[in-house]
Amino acid sequence: MKFGIVVLPGSNCDHDALHVTRDVIGAEAELLWHKETDLKGVDCVIIPGGFAYGDYLRAGALAKFAPIMDPIRRHAAAGGLVFGICNGFQVLTEVGLLPGALMRNAHLRFAGRDIFLRTEETDTPITSEVMKGQILRMPIAHGEGNYFAEEDALDELERNRQVIFRYCDEEGRIIFASNPNGSARNIAGICNRDRNVLGMMPHPERCSEAILGNADGLGVFKSIAASLARV
């Protein structure tokens, strides 16, 4: 299996994702520069966190014009895995691989702290090794993490079980107080209808080693590795 981590101008979590995939789970992994037009045979593309193109206009708005986005679209259309983390989630909505949009946090402040999220669905390649209902603690670091979609689109996400993670409290309750940014229905991560493209605002790559004091994010990367191994 091979991971490709996209490097956009302003990415700052690319080497974190490279470290976890290559050094922690032991997979082949390499960085993919934003001007590349060849994904170099990767099985899973990761679009990492950061501030692509300085988040000018809005987060992810300029990244959709990067040359590498066309091969990523083709990769996704062919059933390849695409995983967007934080800014990567924002980019995936801008390029149309995921529905909805990420808006300014409702309180208009940058949010950087640990939160809890509940795993809603496990029949995706990115959550297959996580238990349904499992509560995970992960860090967030964003100013535009407020997930928005029209009510009918949200209803469709629910019907298709595309809501993969929701913000919750330590006991797993989906309540207003546990929502760090105002996201509709406490949504923290979604997938596409084919379940091969997933975006989430929290950072699993920043909590995938016990030495960091929290390895809750490792299950996400183990899920991808296990899913690829089964192919």
Q: How would CATH label the architecture of 2-230? A: 3-Layer(aba) Sandwich (3.40)
DSSP secondary structure string for all residues of 168-212? E-TT----GGG-SS--GGGEEEEE-TTSSEEEESS-GGGS-BGGG
What is the per-residue pLDDT for 230?
A: 84
What is the per-residue pLDDT for 231?
A: 73
Question: Quick check: is 44 catalytic?
Answer: no
Tell me which residue of 87, 101, 103 sits closest to 53, measured CA to CA.
87
- Give the start-to-end residue ranges of the domains of the chain: 2-230
**Global pTM value:** 0.97
Question: Quick check: is 86 catalytic?
Answer: yes
Give backbone dihedrals phi and psi of 17, rounded to 5 degrees, phi first. Answer: -65, -40
Name the catalytic one among 142, 191, 203, 207.
203
Name the catalytic one among 34, 44, 75, 86.
86
Name the catalytic one among 120, 121, 144, 205.
205
**Local mean pLDDT, 10-residue blocks, the chain (231 residues):** 97 98 97 97 98 93 97 98 98 98 97 98 96 98 98 98 98 97 98 98 98 97 95 73
Question: Quick check: is 151 catalytic?
Answer: no
- Cβ-contact 227, 128 below 8 angstroms: yes
What is the per-residue pLDDT for 34?
A: 98
